[in-house]
Amino acid sequence: MRILLAIVAVFSALAVPAVAQQRPHNVILFVADGLRPGVVTQQNAPTMLALMARGVRFTNTHSLFPTFTTANASGMATGHMLGDSGDFSNTIYTGFQVPGAGDSLTPFLESDPVLGDVDEHFSGDYLNEETILKAARDTGYATATIGKLGPALIFDHTERTGQKTIVVDDMTGRTGGIPLSDELKQRLTAAGVAVQAPTRGDNGKAGDATASGTMVANVEQQNYFTDVTTKAVLPWFKARKTPFVMVYWSRDPDGTQHNQGDSLGRLIPGINGPTSMAAIKNADDNLAKLLAALKEQGLDGDTDVIITSDHGFSTISKESATSFAAQQRYKDVTPNLVPPGFVAIDLAHALGMSLYDPDAKSAPVAAGAHPSRGNGLLGSDPAKPDVVVASNGGSDLIYLPNADKALAAKVVAFLSSQDYVSGLFVDDSLGKIPGTLPMSAIALKGSAITPMPAIALNFRTFATGCADPTTCGVEVADTSLQQGQGMHGNFSRADTRNIMGAAGPSFRQHFEDAAPASNADIGKTVAKLLGLKIKDKGKLVGRVLSEAMPNNAMPTTRQVVLRSEPDALGHVTVVMSQVVGETRYFDVAGYPGRTLGLPAEGSR
C-alpha cells in the first residue's frame, strides 16, 4: 500500500509545473513600448515609479540594436540577441514574396498574417529559438499575451489556434487574427467586453507634410486590452488555480509618439509635447489597472511583475545637405527634406541602378516619386535584385543577395560620404572594409536562419538641448512620418536606453541595480523565475538578472571600446559597450560627434 501511495505521489507531482513545487509564482511582463526613462516622472508615470521604488529599479539599461519593436520582442521572448533570432528589424528582407504583406520581399513584421507566413517559410519557426510562453505552456502554465499587434504574438508565434495561449491584439475578432477560444468568448461576453478589438481611431492618424498628426493618446484601444485582462483573463487564471505567465504590450507611448501632431516640421517640442506625455500616462494607467486587478483577485502576493520598454525614442529630422533625394521634388514631401526611401533613391543614383518598389508589386520608381514604404530593390531585375534596402526608421538594413564583395565596398564608400550616416556595420563574410566594424561586433552575426543583412546603416543623431539629452534626442530617419514626429531604431543612447524595473516575491525590495541589463536578459530571467528548461541553439544569449534577487551579489562589469580602421574620408566606426561574463551590452555606436552619447574625438 505504501509503495502504491508513493507512486501516486510521484505522478501527482509530475502533473504540476515543476516550478510550482519550488516557487509557485506568476509572472507578468509589462512592456511600455518606446518609453524613455527620463520622462518617467511622478506626473506622467506614478505607478511605474512606485513599483520601482518598492522593488528593483534598473539604472543601466539597454535595448537591442537595431532598436526596433519586433527585434526587441524577439530578445525578450527568447533570451537571445538578434544574430540568433534573425529578427533584425521591424522590416527585413525575407528572400521570398510574403502573401500577408502583399507579396513584398520586405515585409513589415508587425502583423499576425505576416508572422505566420514567415514562420511557414522558415521551417515553422523563423526565430529558430523556443520562446518563454511556448516553454511555459508546455510545462503546464496558463499563458496569455495581450496588446500591440506583432510583438504580442511573437512571444508564442508558432501557436495560432488560440486554444493553448490566449492572444489578444489589434486583429482580435478580425480576419487574419488569432482566434479566441469559446471559453474566453463566453467570459468576455459575461463581463460585458466585446470579442472584437477596437481600432486606434484618431490615434492612428499620422497626418502628412501639411497636416498634423494625432492629438490624442491610444486610450480606447488600450482600455479594451486592460478590460480583457482584468475582467476576463485574470479571473479565469485564478479559477484555474495554476501558475500563469502573461505579457501585456502597451502600444503607448510608442504609437502616439510616432504620430503626434504637436510639432509638425519642428524639432522642438518634438516628442516632448502634451500628446506624448498623455501617451505615457496612458501606459501608466494600464499598469495601475493590472496591479489593482491582481490585488482584487488576491494574486498580488504570488506574482512577479517586470516592466520594460523595447527601446527609447527620438524626434525625427529629415535634413541632409548631401542627399540626392533631398534635392528632388515630390508632391507629398516638404522641399529640401529627404523623402521616404531616400537611402534607396540615393544608392540607385550613385550605383547607376534601376529602383523598384517591393511594396507595390515591384513597380519601377519613377523620377519625382519615392518607394511607398521606403523599401527598395536595386538592379536590372526586381525578382533578382543586386541590392535590397529595408527601410526602418532610425537605421536601415542593406542586403546584397549575391554577396558581392566589390559591390559591398562601393555601397560603403558612398554611404560614408553622406552627412546622414553615423557608423556602418558589415557582414563578417564580406571581409574587412575601412571605416566599418563587423556585424559580429554588435551581436548581429549568429545562428539566425533568416537572410543576413550585408550592411547595417546607423543614422546621424544629436540633441536639441535639455538636462537629460536622452529625452530630447533627434535622429535622421528613413520613414514616411514627418520631421518633428517620433522614431527610433538608432544606436544613440536616446534609443538604446530603455526603462526596466521589477517587483514581487522573487525580487529585492528598494534596490537600485546599476549592473548592465538588456531585453535579452528579461527572456533569461523570466525563464529562471518560471523554472523553464530551454535549450539554446545559438550562443548570443542574455543573462539571468540574479543580482536583482535576494541574497545575490552584484556582477563584475568591464568596459569595452571597439574602433574600426579609418576610411578614405577619415570616418571611424566606434562601439562603446559593457560586458558581464560573456554577455555584451551596447551603449552607443557610430562616428564620434555624429551619434548622441558618442562625443567627437578630443571633445571630452
What's the pLDDT tens digit per position in 416-471? 999 999 999 999 999 999 999 999 999 999 999 999 999 999 999 999 999 999 99
Distance CA 171, CA 179 (A): 9
- Flag whether pLDDT at 374 surpasses 50: yes
Cα separation, 589 vs 301, in Å, equals: 42
Is the pLDDT confidence value at 232 over 80?
A: yes
For 59-206, where are the alpha helices, taking DSSP H only?
A: 69-78, 82-85, 112-121, 132-139, 151-154, 182-190
168 backbone dihedrals φ, ψ, rounded to 5° = -130, 120
Residue 8 has pLDDT above 80, yes or no: no
Q: What whole-number distance in Å separates Cα of residue 188 and Cα of residue 442? A: 45
**Mean per-residue pLDDT, 269-281:** 98
What's residue 602's pLDDT?
65
- Among the listed residues 88, 47, 40, the one whose alpha carbon sits nearest the alpha carbon of residue 66: 88
Q: Is the peptide bond before 253 cis (omega within 30 degrees of 0)?
A: yes
CA trace torsion 375, 380, 383, 389 (10° rounding)? -20
For the sheet containing 558-563, what is the strand order?
A: 558-563, 574-580, 583-590
Rounded to whole angstroms, the maximal C-alpha distance in the chain is: 88
Please give the pLDDT value at position 7.
37
- b/e code 544-568 from CB counts within 10 Å (16+ = b): bbbbbbeeeeeeeeeeeeeebeebe
CATH topology of domain 25-313+493-548: Alkaline Phosphatase, subunit A (3.40.720)
Residue 3 predicted with pLDDT over 90: no
Q: Is residue 338 predicted with pLDDT exceeding 60?
A: yes
502-539 confidence digits (pLDDT tens):
999 999 999 999 999 999 999 999 999 999 999 999 99
Tell me the chain's radius of gyration from C-alpha atoms: 23
Contact between 318 and 487 (Cβ < 8 Å):
no
What percentage of the chain reaches a pLDDT higher than 90? 95
> Across residues 101-124, what is the average pLDDT?
98
Q: So where are the chain's domains?
A: 25-313+493-548, 316-487
Give residue 9's pLDDT. Answer: 37
Q: What is the pLDDT of residue 464?
A: 98
Confidence at residue 75, expressed as pLDDT on a 0 to 100 scale: 98
CB 393 within 8 A of CB 407: no
pTM: 0.95
The per-residue pLDDT for 492 is 98
Expressed in percent and rounded to 5, the helix, strand and coil fractions of the chain are 30, 20, 50
pLDDT of 91 higher than 90: yes
Residue 403 region by backbone torsions, left for phi larger than 0, else alpha for psi between -120 and 50, else beta: left
Q: Specify whether the CB–CB gap between 151 and 310 falls below 8 A.
A: yes
Q: What is the mean pLDDT of residues 159-186?
A: 98
CA distance 324 to 339: 10
Question: 484: left (phi > 0), else alpha (psi -120 to 50), else beta?
Answer: left
Provide the pLDDT for residue 14.
Answer: 39
Q: Is the pLDDT of residue 4 over 50?
A: no
Residue 601: the pLDDT is 78
Which pLDDT value is given to residue 20?
A: 36
Which pLDDT score, from 0 to 100, does residue 24 have? 61
Q: What is the pLDDT of residues 9-61, one digit of tens each?
A: 333 333 444 433 454 699 999 999 999 999 999 999 999 999 999 999 999 99
pLDDT of res. 17: 43
Cα separation of the two ends of the chain: 78
| Angstrom distance (rounded) from CA 92 to CA 450 | 9
Residue 74 is placed in which grid cell? 524577439
Mean pLDDT of the chain: 95
Position 603 pLDDT exceeds 80: no
User: What does DSSP say about strands 395-399 and 387-390: parallel, antiparallel, or unpaired?
Assistant: antiparallel
